Structure formats: structure tokens, C-alpha cells
Structure 1
Amino acid sequence: MTAIPSENGMDAETFDQFIEQLQRYVRERLIPAESQVIADNMIPEDLQDEMRGMGLFGLTMPEEYGGAGMNVPQYVEAIRVLSYALPAYRSLTSINLGMVCSAIKKNGTDEQKAEYLPRLAAGEIACFGLTEPGSGSDSAAMQTTATRSGNGYVLNGAKRYITNAPFAKIGLIMARTEKDNQAKNAHVSAFLVEMDTDGIARGKSDKKMGQEGSHIGDLYFDDVKLPGSALLGGEEGRGFATAMQSLDNGRLSVAAASAGYAKRILDSALKYSTERKAFGDSISQFQLIQAMLADSKAEIYASECMIRDAAAKANNGPAIIKAAAAKMFASEMCGRVADRCVQIYGGAGYLAEYEAERFFRDSRIYRIYEGTTQILQLVIAKNMLRQFAAES
């Protein structure tokens, strides 16, 4: 493995040692536990505690706050390695690492950093509340409001499809602080919310197509009283910019998850193709099977290259186009690899007793959350046109 540069992160040798340890942990602990996680639809508490002990909730937290201090390329590589196992493991940790931590590090006050980053690093589960029943990427349609009241705010509204919502301890919640839509989305602010605050209700965990063991749900805010210190950065109107900055990391995390899981899927297809016999030989000897295996390998490699390049860009500033492109390509690629895996398994690929069926269901969501493929096409195109206009 080639060492990843350690600018503003963990030194390369220590990082390589961590990755080797993580690969063993994935192989020896996380993969063997998958059947239990799927059956219970929950990661066991003892395994969650092991993940905390491994530091998997604090990879991106600065060392002074109890984290590992990884830079963006290191974090993304760690997510790729973790994502070889069941998606639920990444789902549990990723909001802490890629979105909430990023927002607090870049935009939080010193007091907010001191309060929340050590808790996130220690493994208190976070959630990120942007999507609503009537809005997602369209902030102009956002209905959740935070109204000034004395030195604080009163939060009202609802959020939908929120990862970790059923059990999160900390929420980074986007809310409208201006009645009318403002230029550059300045009507949206971000709030750090203790999720046990009076007036917060949680919907039941949604029953999903796949990704057993990960949980999403709705959040409801009914006259939730927030102190003034809950406003991220102490400044109104920066919530949407915060969300978009965090989404760069979130999109890179999903891209890395797609690449990591695609490798798992391809390994499964490769193994099955060598074991399944037809016409007196293993089907791996058939050229059309080999073509599907080769196409999958090439696409995984392409996605890994894109992800590493985008992560390097994001380590030094905004990477809107590259993060969106990497997520779009990697998630679509993972879907193609999963489809080929089912095809290679043949009739067995459609049966729940074989893992190809589960891989197919699990991978479908990657093309939807953190920006659907269609939204990312718009993000890429609009930013290209904006750059072209500025350079013309």
C-alpha cells in the first residue's frame, strides 16, 4: 500500500499501521458479526464499544480533543477500508466523522469545539438534520424555523430520513432564522442540539430496502428551547454554507463506502465464479463472466483514483465539483458491480440465502443519499457554468 501524505494529519507510518489494524478488525470481528447485525437489525452494544475503543468515532477529531487527527485523504481511506464490511458500521460512525465534526472544526466557536468534539470522538452518536418532508437540497423550501426568544431560540419543524435519528445524542440541525429567502441562502442557520431536550420527538426507525443495522427516522421539534450558545459559530445565516461544506466530506464518505463495498461484492462474485460449475468447468473460465469481472475491477480502480484526488482537493479547501463527481461515479459504479454480481450468481443471486441479493439491496441507497445522482449532475454543471462565466 502506498502511504497517504500526512499534511495536517496522522504521520504516514502510524496511519499505515492503523489501516493494517483496521483491515484485520474488519476481517476478524466485523464481518463475522454481520449475520447477527442483520438478524437483530442493530449493531450489538459490545461491538459498538469495541469500535469506540478502536477510535472509529474520532478519526477526524483533532488530537487535542481526543481524536486521531486524520486529514481528509486519511479519513476517506479509512472509510473505504471499513466499508468492506456491512454498511451499518460506516453508517453509525460517519455522521460524527464526516459531517458534524467537519462543521464544528470549520465553523464552531472555541467553546463549541471544547464541548462537542471530545464527546463525538468518544463515540456519542450524532445526526445531521437538513432534509425535511418537503425539502432536501432546496433550502428555499425549508420549513423548520428557529425564532429568537430572549438570548436563545425556539425551534419548530420536522426533519426526515435522518441517519441515526432514533438514538443520536447530538444533532446538527439546519433551521430558517429569516422568514424570507435570502441571497446565498442566508436565511438558514445551523444549531447544535442536545437531542434529549424537551420538545424533541423521534419517529420510529424506518423499515428500509437494505442496509440492516443502520437506522434512519424522522425528528420533530415542538417549541424546543435552545440557548444562544447552540447557534453554530455564533452567527446566523451560515447554516446552508456549513451544510454544503459538510456535504463535501459526506459525499466523499459515501464515495469511499461505495468503492469499499464494491470491492467486497467483486470478491464475492470472483469466489463464486471459481466454485460454480457449468458444462464441466467453473464459470470463471467463460469469457463473458470474465468480462463482467474485468469491467468491475476497472471501474473500482477508477473510482478509487477519483476519490483520492477529490479527497486531496478537499483537504486544502472546497472541492464541490470533485466531491460530487466522485460520489456520483462511485455510487453508480457500485450499483453496476452489484448487478453484475447477481448476474454471475445466476438464479442463486436472486435468493436471500446468498449474499449477492443483500449486496444488491444494500448498494442501492448510495445513489440517493448525500445528494442523488441527478442533484449531483446539477451541482457539477452549475459550478462548471459559474466557473466558465467567471473566467470568460
Structure 2
Amino acid sequence: MDFTLTEEQREFQQLLRSFVNREIIPVAREWEQTGRYPTEIVRGMADMGLFGITVPESYGGLDLDPVSFALVFEEISRGWMGVAGILGSHSLACRMIAMHGTEEQKQSYLPGLATGERRTGIGLTEPDAGTDLQGIRTTARRDGDHYVVNGTKMWITNARYADPLPVLVKTDPTAVPAHRGMSILLVDADLPGFTVTRDIPKLGYKGTESCEVLLDDVRVPVDRLLGGVEGTGLKQALSALEWGRVNIAARSVGIAQRAHEEALGYAGQRKAFGKHIADFQAVQIKLATIATQVQAARLMAYWSADAVRRGRADAQTGMAKIFCSEVALEAAIEAMKIHGGYGYSTEFEVERLYRDAILMSIGEGTNDILRTVVAKALVRGEVTI
């Protein structure tokens, strides 16, 4: 088995790492604490073509393989996980449009999305529906050549910049099972009744906005129904979320890697009782454990990404997301312990890593729900260990 990156992937990784070291790490802590939007970083990512990582080359994108896709989120999250979120929702929506959109929809949206001239996200979650997407209440009633959309979406990343915003709706609220009546509409930001009402305050995941979006009698043209066929919206969303779990697993690896770097660097500088704390066996055990877990998580993330390349991989991506997210939190906590009191200070990186790590076990499906997804796949014999 070959566990190494290709030469092209290694070069791409180095390009990403140089960008992060130069453009993100020096400003991340200050900008996160002051609430400054990372405009210059976004511009740099656009210049590198990163907004097109899931857009086919025929529409101006990079069309990265899943492992290279994972590299993007690992490296950027090593610098600032919140900035990776700007690319995350955008990339998943682009892939969804590329996979399921009509040719007219692809031609209309993908070239601008690939360059970053346009941005997007995904409008799935609602106040009363998160992991259980079939419980959404947003409706789209057909009225001639338009759908009239009413509902509220929550925790929408990129909401203030998304144009269009793919929105999961119920075109047939009476359908049984519910997913047969669910569709995705590409909602342009300038349509009357489409309002981003507020930014939701968060413990971490700063740098990108997470918003409440109100849709009040928004008239969406029928030709903005993703794929042109009603009733396939949940399937379309879930196909994107499979890549989303790779995204979260890779982001988790980036957080854990940075926690390792910060802990190792601090242990080599801090002295106690006349010697560096890295010379104490208790600290050495923590450092070794973090490093081992980080490398295991990295291999798990790449393994799941490669499984996506080969076909449907719900179980593999679920396993990776579960394991990597828990490694990220454990690494951040252990790094804080190595820092002692300074780990609790906002003047050091590790407290931000801790706040960002917590979200990784929640986003793209909670870990407990994903454990049931993995278990069901094992029972059905879809994956063997």
C-alpha cells in the first residue's frame, strides 16, 4: 500500500503551506480577536484558484481529486480554521451544482464561482432541523413560472456573500417519506424577500459569518430548480456532504497539527526547575501522544478521501470525521496543558485552537449520529474492516 502523496500533491501542499505561513498565521490571532473579516486572505485564495477546487476544468475550475481537496483544508486550517470555512461551504455548493445542475445552471454560475468573483454556501439547517434534514419547514409553492419560498435557515456560512445560495426546501410538504418532496433551489441574493437577518455569535469558528436567513415570499424562477427535477434535493445535498465530511476531517487534522507544533515549540523554550519542560517525561508522553494521534488522523483523512475518489464512501468519511475531530479536540486540550497557565491566555494560539476544535465534532453531522451511519453500513456489508 502506498501511503505517500504524489509529486504533484506534495508541490501543491508546499504551495498551500507557504501561503498559510506568509498570509494567514501572522494575522490570524489579531483578526480573529477583533472580528476583522479576512478580505486580503480571501483575495489571495481567489488568486490561487482555490474557489474553483470542485469546479470542472471546462468551467474554469481546478477540479481537484479528493485527496488534494483534503490538503487544501488541512493546510488552511493549520493557519485559521475559520478561513477554511469560507472555502468549505462554497466548494461543497460548487460540487453540488457541477454534479446535479442543468447545463444552463452550470454555465450561468460555475465560471464566476470558480474565480471567486461569485461566492456561495449551502442553506440546509433550520432553527428546528439540523442533522435531521427531513424535518425542515421551508416550503416552495409552485406559482406559474416561479416558486414562492417561505422559511428560515440558520447557521449559514457565507450567507452575506452567497450569490446564489442553494436552499433546501419542501416542494411537496405532504410527501411520504419526506425526502421525496424535497428540492434545492438556487436563490439569487438580490431577490425581494431574501434577507440575511443577523450574524450568530459563536465561541469559535470566527473569520467567516454564520447567519440567520429569512425567506419571505421569495419568488424564485422555476429554471433555478437544481437539476430541473423536483424531489431529488435531499439526495443532492447528501452527495455534497460526503465531501463535506472529508473537509471536516481534514480541517481537524490541520487544527491538531498546529496544536502539536505549538506544544512542541513551547516545550522546547519554557524552562522549569532549571531545564526545558520538554526534558520532563510527563511532557514527553503528551508530545508523543499528540504526534501519534495527528499522524493517525492524517492517514484516516486521506484514506477516506481516496475512498470518495473510488465511489460512494459514507462509512469511510463518517469514520474519518469522527476520529479526526476527536483527535483535534484532544490535541488542543493537551497542548493547552503543556502551556500551563499561558494556554488559557488569548495571547497564545492554543486557546483559539481549542475553541475551533469543538465545532469539528458537531459540523457536517454530529459524531454520535455519524456513528449510527457507520454502524448501519457495517451491518449492510457496505464496508468491511
Q: Report what 2:374 is aligned to.
A: 380
Determine whether 1:289 maps to 2:283. yes
Is the contact between residue 38 and residue 207 of structure 2 (CA under 8 Å) also seen in structure 1?
Answer: no
Determine whether 1:169 maps to 2:163. yes
Q: Report what 1:257 is aligned to.
A: 251
- The TM-score normalised by the length of structure 2 is 0.94
Q: Report what 2:331 is aligned to.
A: 337
Is the contact between residue 131 and residue 366 of structure 2 (CA under 8 Å) also seen in structure 1?
Answer: no
C-alpha RMSD of the superposition: 2.0
- The TM-score normalised by the length of structure 1 is 0.93
User: What CA distance in whole angstroms lies between the structure 2 residues aligned with 1:207 and 1:136?
Assistant: 18
Q: 1:108 aligns with which of 92, 101, 117?
A: 101
Say if 1:186 and 1:42 are closer, same or farther in 2 by CA, change over 3 A. Answer: farther
Q: Report what 1:180 is aligned to.
A: 174
User: What CA distance in whole angstroms lies between the structure 1 residues aligned with 2:287 and 2:4?
Assistant: 27
Say if 1:379 and 1:87 are closer, same or farther in 2 by CA, change over 3 A. Answer: same
Q: 303-312 vs 134-143, which deviates more? A: 134-143
User: What CA distance in whole angstroms lies between the structure 2 residues aligned with 1:150 and 1:369?
Assistant: 37
Q: Secondary structure at the match of 2:169?
A: strand
Determine whether 1:298 maps to 2:281. no
Say if 1:336 and 1:181 are closer, same or farther in 2 by CA, change over 3 A. Answer: farther
Deviations 1:85-140 (A, max 9, x none): 1112211111121x112211211111111111112111122111111111112233
Is the contact between residue 127 and residue 168 of structure 1 (CA under 8 Å) also seen in structure 2?
Answer: yes
User: What CA distance in whole angstroms lies between the structure 1 residues aligned with 2:218 and 2:210?
Assistant: 21
Query: What's the CA shift for 1:30?
Result: 1.3
Q: How does 1:1-392 map to 2 (within 5 A)?
A: 4=5, 13=8, 15-97=9-91, 99-123=92-116, 124-183=118-177, 185-387=179-381
Query: What's the CA shift for 1:157?
Result: 0.4
Is the contact between residue 3 and residue 16 of structure 1 (CA under 8 Å) also seen in structure 2?
Answer: no
Is the contact between residue 294 and residue 327 of structure 2 (CA under 8 Å) also seen in structure 1?
Answer: yes
Deviations 1:57-102 (A, max 9, x none): 11221112111121112111222122211112211111121x1122
Q: Secondary structure at the match of 1:32?
A: helix
User: What CA distance in whole angstroms lies between the structure 1 residues aligned with 2:279 and 2:90?
Assistant: 45
User: What CA distance in whole angstroms lies between the structure 1 residues aligned with 2:364 and 2:243?
Assistant: 10
Is the contact between residue 171 and residue 181 of structure 2 (CA under 8 Å) also seen in structure 1?
Answer: yes
Q: Report what 1:8 is aligned to.
A: none
Aligned residues: 382
Say if 1:91 and 1:68 are closer, same or farther in 2 by CA, change over 3 A. Answer: same
Is the contact between residue 159 and residue 219 of structure 1 (CA under 8 Å) also seen in structure 2?
Answer: yes
Query: What's the CA shift for 1:169?
Result: 2.1
Is the contact between residue 4 and residue 74 of structure 1 (CA under 8 Å) also seen in structure 2?
Answer: no
Deviations 1:300-331 (A, max 9, x none): 11111111111111113211011111011100
Q: Secondary structure at the match of 1:134?
A: coil
User: What CA distance in whole angstroms lies between the structure 1 residues aligned with 2:62 and 2:248?
Assistant: 21
Query: What's the CA shift for 1:275?
Result: 1.0
Deviations 1:140-197 (A, max 9, x none): 3210011111122111101111111233222111001112243372121111111221
User: What CA distance in whole angstroms lies between the structure 2 residues aligned with 1:4 and 1:175?
Assistant: 40
Say if 1:230 and 1:181 are closer, same or farther in 2 by CA, change over 3 A. Answer: same
Q: Secondary structure at the match of 1:95?
A: helix
User: What CA distance in whole angstroms lies between the structure 2 residues aligned with 1:164 and 1:311?
Assistant: 24
Is the contact between residue 166 and residue 203 of structure 1 (CA under 8 Å) also seen in structure 2?
Answer: no
Query: What's the CA shift for 1:33?
Result: 2.2
Q: Secondary structure at the match of 2:363?
A: coil
Q: 351-360 vs 140-149, which deviates more? A: 351-360
Amino acid at match of 1:65: Y
User: What CA distance in whole angstroms lies between the structure 1 residues aligned with 2:4 and 2:296?
Assistant: 19
Gaps of 5+ in 1: 6-11
User: What CA distance in whole angstroms lies between the structure 1 residues aligned with 2:33 and 2:300?
Assistant: 35
Is the contact between residue 248 and residue 325 of structure 2 (CA under 8 Å) also seen in structure 1?
Answer: yes
Amino acid at match of 1:108: G
Query: What's the CA shift for 1:231?
Result: 0.6
User: What CA distance in whole angstroms lies between the structure 2 residues aligned with 1:84 and 1:141?
Assistant: 35
User: What CA distance in whole angstroms lies between the structure 1 residues aligned with 2:101 and 2:310?
Assistant: 19
User: What CA distance in whole angstroms lies between the structure 2 residues aligned with 1:122 and 1:145?
Assistant: 32
User: What CA distance in whole angstroms lies between the structure 1 residues aligned with 2:12 and 2:351?
Assistant: 32
Query: What's the CA shift for 1:223?
Result: 0.6
Q: Secondary structure at the match of 2:51?
A: coil
Amino acid at match of 2:120: A
Gaps of 5+ in 2: none
Deviations 1:319-346 (A, max 9, x none): 1011111011100110000000111111
Is the contact between residue 166 and residue 205 of structure 1 (CA under 8 Å) also seen in structure 2?
Answer: no
Q: Secondary structure at the match of 1:204?
A: strand
